[in-house]
Amino acid sequence: MAGKYVHQSILRLEDPELITGNVQFLDDIELPGMLHAAFKRSDYAHARIKSIDVSEARKLPGVIGVYTAEDFGDYIKPGPLQVPPPTAIKGATYVARTTMPIAKDKVRFAGEPVAIVIAESRYIAEDACDLIYVDYEPLEAVVDLEKALQPGSPLVHEDLPSNEAGHVRQERGSWEEAVKEADLVIKRKFFINRNAGAAMENRGIIVQWDKHAKQMTIWCGTQSVIALRNQTAARLGLFESQVRVITPNTGGGFGPKINTSLPDDVLITYLAMKLDRPIKWVEDRRENFLATTSERDQVHYCELAVKRDGTIVGLKDFFYHNTGAYNPYMMTVPLNSQTHTVTNYRVPNFLTEFYVVFTNQMIVTPVRGAGRQYGVFVMERMLDAAARELGMSPVEIRRKNLLPANAYPYYTSIIGQDFVEGVLDSGDYPTSFQKTLELIEYDKFVNEVQPKLRAQGKKVGIGVACFSEGTGVGPYEGARVTVGGNGKVVVTTGYTSQGQAHYTTFAQIVADQLGVDVKDVKVITGDTGYFGWGAGTFASRGITVAGTATHLAAQKVRQKALKLASKILEAPEEELELADGVVRVADIPSKFISLGDLANLANPMRGTMEPGAEPGLEAVAYYGPPYGATGAGAVGLIIEVDPETMQVSLEKMAFVHDCGTPVNPMVVDGQIHGGIQMGIGDAFYEELIYDENGQLVTASFMDYLFPQATDMPKKLVLGHMETPSPLNPLGIKGVGEAGAIPIPSVFVQAVENALQETGVEFDRDTLSPSRIFTYVQQAKGA
Amino acid sequence: MAQTVKINVTVNGKQYEREVEPRLLLSDFIRHDLGLTGTHVGCEHGLCGACTVLMDGEAVRSCTIFAVQADGHEIQTVESLGTPDNLHPIQQAFIEKHALQCGFCTPGFLMTLVDYLGDNPNPTEEEIREAIDGNFCRCTGYFNIIEAVKLAAQKMASH
């Protein structure tokens, strides 16, 4: 669906201010009398706190207060669940051990706060942290995912019988029957590890309490202003309307910024009230690595039952999922992994089961991709293994099993993170796969290029992988569209932005409906003072859910404008059009009224109004889909491995995706680009490595390898598919996470292909030069 | 009160005389003492490049330099480049190529590139990748930044 603006690559409206430094990010905000916070964090992953001595810290000039758990009394308790438990799934079990705002008696991960200092400057606050002495009794740390569930393992939460945090089992058909029907059952074990969100701007918060107005203002680059407002109000006994949460410009989100009721917001809201001074806390990079949230490891035991011709008859997957020390985000990540193993190919029978496990590590919550890539990785790896054992090509086995173009709506028989059975609404997976093969020139590479290069001794390889992405899930988002007396339009929404171009894309949607210049539409996101309803920025749902709500609100305003103009211009509504900022009679362009004048007339100051009429050229709309829209695509990759160093050079990547209607194709490409980079990090550079004591040994950019410009593919070709979603009027599906999802799958396949003669087979999603070397040595029997 | 040192620093053509603690980072001095918040801080250990500014015309990381080390030197920050109505060619190129998303890392890229393109007006793609290798971006995958640098070089050549 295309309009004057929708489906056009217009340049971003927010850029001129953003690129000249004329905007405010959180740490740019200075308030009179503002104090600064710093946290004293645990050096141990698992230890009992015997005592904390804060006396010296309190004496330091400039220190206002030093607080440990006991100073907060009953205020300190585990926070609320951020996501409901999976009660919609039959037989699912879970326990909730949610985030402690500050450690009491025991620390459960290295980096967990044990004290907070409030001081006149951040420098002084950090000095004071060094003067806090904690006496710990170290305990054995729970680090290994599988050992954590063995009898006799130390317990992260000693009130529980084991480290098990939950269990989910979902099935379709019969795995036993599939085994009987199959010619071959392939078994593999996979290790998956995942990266940090690592947004360039770390987290932070500023809290101001106005004791006269009894009003709290919070500035925070959160991905959910509504959750932050509601949980703060509930904790402090305030009305939601007494708490205003404002998101300043935010330097990336990628998942971890969705969390609320973390130590900073819980403690700093309380202390800002108590001390009657504004307080700022800005996370540093080390704290971000140690103690924000991230994703982590899974271990999968998978079996694939196939016919001799490669047809899948069934899949059985059993996996463990690391949830870290607490599980406020419940099962979103493992549920995404579970659903995405079986939602791209025809899998008539499946049995998939997982255990969630507590460990002495940082809390696990979604990072771009949110577990989907693990599910995709497992299935793609199983197909590679099956192709290898059946003597088929990776292309052939995928073609054989991809859901056909006429499969939609396709009922997946599996309940996902939105707690409804998954339905693939639309798509054409075989065509996007075919397009990918053409763009990467698969046949030419395999038949001509590769043999030639191999003859020269070059280790070049190719891979192909497919993926789907459940996006745009419920519950709902909302928007208000208001035409001002100046004829310009304001859109407000509770949705939050971290760089996704909503200030442009939402404006494009509105400008098309109201016939105004897109530059005359101002979008305000993530400020509860303007709009107080919504869920948050997650699951690639911005343009799909909040964008659709914006579209519906603009349509309502359009109807209002037409109705009022019809009376004033004395012409039937169907003869009117909205264009150039006016409503005019289509055939008589001189007969018009401007939107600004209409807006004023829609808000009469004297006289009467029709019963039931609502004032203003303004409307609010909400949109909540019955289930998410599913995007999809495929990727091809050509790489070269240096046999001396095992460094992998990415020669060419072709990426085809389908997000239905792209509201702004330029922005869509940008989202794919960023996802690809994160996927490359995931596959070859980034890794949160914990040692046997639960210490994160990659807690700086010196050790945690952030993908740089020289690590990106030398050539990238994007391909586009547009199968509109029937779920919303613009036909949109989400795309924010797509790029990140299939990269580890394609990367390991391509490296395997390059090193074909060694017979190496990878069973993990994160490689590195030394890992490749080790695998090759093992394959050689060395 | 901690011991302070008097420094004289020229920032964006304006002279500042301030008393600062010897341990104050140049990035904090620029952002919090002078209120020039266009320079951003991403890692505070010299890796991500978000805080890059020019010191006597050379790109440096302001998070690993003390303010006292800038005494007697000339600093340029992103605020010295263009304004929304009068953008620097590199800024214009970044917008035209959609080379920024959240925009947090962008000032660091711009300052790196002002220095780099000044010395290398006609870089190859490979040289561009090398030139920006010390600046991290999490949103763009660098693809559009590389395109923007090519465009910026063209724009600057025709200026």
Decide if pLDDT at A158 tops 70.
yes
Q: Where in chain A is the domain with CATH 3.30.365.10?
A: 15-22+475-623, 298-473+626-779
- Class assignment of domain A31-139+198-291? alpha beta
Q: What is the pLDDT of residue B148?
A: 98
Nearest to B142 among A12, A702, A709 (CB): A709
Task: Measure Cα distances from A450 to A445, A446, A745, A762 in Å.
Answer: 5, 5, 20, 21
Q: What is the pLDDT of residue A609?
A: 86
CATH of the domain at B71: 3.10.20.30
Decide if pLDDT at A1 tops 70.
no
Q: Where in the sequence is the domain holding B53, given as residue range(s)?
A: 5-80
Decide if pLDDT at A11 tops 60.
yes
Residue of A nearest to B30 (CA): A28
| Partner-chain contact A674 B138, CB within 8 Å | yes
Cross-strand pairs, A416: none
The pLDDT confidence band at residue A204, using thresholds 50, 70 and 90, is very high
CA distance B78 to chain A (A): 7
With CA atoms as reference, report the closest residue to A371 among A386, A352, A397. A352
CA distance B72 to chain A (A): 25
Domain match, B18 and B51 both: yes
Question: Chain B window 3-42: which residues touch A at a Cβ cutoff of 8 Å?
Answer: 21, 23-24, 31-32, 35-42
The pair of three-digit structure tokens given for residue A641, joined into one six-digit string: 């491995």
Q: What is the rounded distance in angstroms from the CA atom of residue A574 to the CA atom of residue A552?
A: 19
| Partner-chain contact B42 A285, CB within 8 Å | yes
SS3 A52: strand
Q: What is the pLDDT of residue A647?
A: 97
Cross-strand pairs, A594: A582
Q: What is the pLDDT of residue B159?
A: 72
Residues in A closer than 8 angstroms to B114, CB to CB, are none
Residue of B nearest to A701 (CA): B47
Q: What is the pLDDT of residue A691?
A: 97
Distance of CA A625 to the CA centre of its chain: 19
Based on the structure, what is the number of domains in chain B?
2
Q: What is the rounded distance in angstroms from the CA atom of residue A126 to the CA atom of residue A36?
A: 10
CA distance A724 to chain B (A): 25
pLDDT digits (tens, 9 = 90+) for A160-181: 999 999 999 999 999 999 999 9
What value, to the nearest 5°, has the Cα angle with vertex A35 and ends A34 and A38?
Answer: 145
The pair of three-digit structure tokens given for residue A157, joined into one six-digit string: 């939460």
CA distance A416 to chain B (A): 27
Cross-strand pairs, A551: none
Nearest to B139 among A202, A674, A710 (CB): A674
With CA atoms as reference, report the closest residue to A752 among A764, A737, A735, A741. A764
Nearest to B47 among A23, A669, A701 (CB): A701
Q: What is the rounded distance in angstroms from the CA atom of residue A523 to the CA atom of residue A502?
A: 8
Question: Chain B window 50-89: which residues touch A at a Cβ cutoff of 8 Å?
Answer: 50, 77-79, 81-85, 87
CATH of the domain at B149: 1.10.150.120
Q: What is the rounded distance in angstroms from the CA atom of residue A780 to the CA atom of residue A325?
A: 39
Report phi then psi at A637, rounded to 5: -145, 135
pLDDT digits (tens, 9 = 90+) for B59-101: 999 999 999 999 999 999 999 999 999 999 999 999 999 999 9
Q: What is the pLDDT of residue B2?
A: 72
Cross-strand pairs, B16: B9
Residue of A nearest to B131 (CA): A709
Nearest to B141 among A28, A676, A710 (CB): A676
Q: Where in chain A is the domain with CATH 3.90.1170.50?
A: 31-139+198-291
Decide if pLDDT at B1 tops 60.
no
pLDDT digits (tens, 9 = 90+) for A17-38: 999 999 999 999 999 999 999 9
CA distance A769 to chain B (A): 20
Three-state helix/strand/coil letters over A667-694: HHHHHHHHHHHHHHHHHHHCCCCECCCC
pLDDT digits (tens, 9 = 90+) for A614-642: 999 999 999 999 999 999 999 999 999 99
pLDDT digits (tens, 9 = 90+) for A349-361: 999 999 999 999 9
Contacts of A640 (CB under 8 A, 6+ apart): A458, A459, A460, A461, A648, A649, A651, A754
- Percent helix, percent strand, percent coil in chain B, to nearest 5: 40, 20, 45
Q: What is the rounded distance in angstroms from the CA atom of residue A487 to the CA atom of residue A598?
A: 9
pLDDT digits (tens, 9 = 90+) for A293-330: 999 999 999 999 999 999 999 999 999 999 999 999 99
Q: Which of B19, B45, B80 is the last residue of a domain?
A: B80
Supply the CATH classification number for the domain A298-473+626-779. Answer: 3.30.365.10
Contacts of A473 (CB under 8 A, 6+ apart): A416, A417, A418, A539, A541, A545, A625, A627, A628
**In contact, A668 and A471? CB cutoff 8 Å:** no
Task: Measure Cα distances from A354 to A92, A333, A495 in Å.
Answer: 10, 11, 32
| Partner-chain contact A701 B84, CB within 8 Å | no
Question: Chain B window 103-132: which residues touch A at a Cβ cutoff of 8 Å?
Answer: 103-107, 110, 128-130, 132
| Partner-chain contact A677 B132, CB within 8 Å | no
Tokens 């004829």, located at residue: A487
Domain match, B113 and B147 both: yes
SS3 A580: coil
| Partner-chain contact A700 B39, CB within 8 Å | no
- Looking at this predicted complex, what is its ipTM? 0.98
With CA atoms as reference, report the closest residue to A328 among A526, A107, A77. A77
Q: What is the pLDDT of residue A597?
A: 97
Query: Beta-carbon neighbour count of residue A585 at 10 Å?
Result: 18
pLDDT digits (tens, 9 = 90+) for A472-505: 999 999 999 999 999 999 999 999 999 999 999 9
With CA atoms as reference, report the closest residue to A716 among A755, A676, A749, A681. A676
**Overall average pLDDT of the A121-138 stretch:** 98
Cross-strand pairs, A93: A167
A409-437 exposure pattern, b = at least 16 Cβ within 10 A, e = fewer: ebebebbbbbbeebbbbbbbbbbbbbbbb
Helical packing angle, A372-390 and A743-754, nearest 10°: 30
Residue of B nearest to A286 (CA): B43
| Partner-chain contact B141 A21, CB within 8 Å | no
SS3 A301: strand
Decide if pLDDT at A156 tops 90.
yes
Q: Which pTM was predicted?
A: 0.97
| Partner-chain contact B103 A61, CB within 8 Å | no
pLDDT digits (tens, 9 = 90+) for A581-626: 999 999 998 999 999 999 999 999 998 888 888 999 999 999 999 9
Report phi then psi at A397, rounded to 5: -70, -30
Does the N-terminal peptide bond of residue A589 adopt cis geometry, omega within 30 degrees of 0? no
The pLDDT confidence band at residue A267, using thresholds 50, 70 and 90, is very high
Domain match, B13 and B57 both: yes
pLDDT digits (tens, 9 = 90+) for A713-768: 999 999 999 999 999 999 999 999 999 999 999 999 999 999 999 999 999 999 99
| Partner-chain contact B140 A674, CB within 8 Å | yes
Q: Which of B53, B80, B107 is the last residue of a domain?
A: B80
| Partner-chain contact B48 A701, CB within 8 Å | yes
Domain match, B11 and B38 both: yes
Residues in B closer than 8 angstroms to A667, CB to CB, are 98
For chain A, what is the mean pLDDT? 97
CATH topology of domain A15-22+475-623: Aldehyde Oxidoreductase; domain 4 (3.30.365)
Domain match, B112 and B63 both: no
The CA dihedral of A406, A409, A412, A415, to the nearest 10 degrees, is 160
**In contact, A675 and A740? CB cutoff 8 Å:** yes
CA distance B8 to chain A (A): 22
Residue of B nearest to A18 (CA): B103
Q: Which of B57, B80, B103 is the last residue of a domain?
A: B80
| Partner-chain contact A673 B96, CB within 8 Å | no
Residues in B closer than 8 angstroms to A30, CB to CB, are 32, 35
The pair of three-digit structure tokens given for residue A204, joined into one six-digit string: 């932070």
Domain match, B64 and B115 both: no
| Partner-chain contact A251 B104, CB within 8 Å | yes
Q: What is the pLDDT of residue A8?
A: 97
Residues in A closer than 8 angstroms to B94, CB to CB, are 15, 19
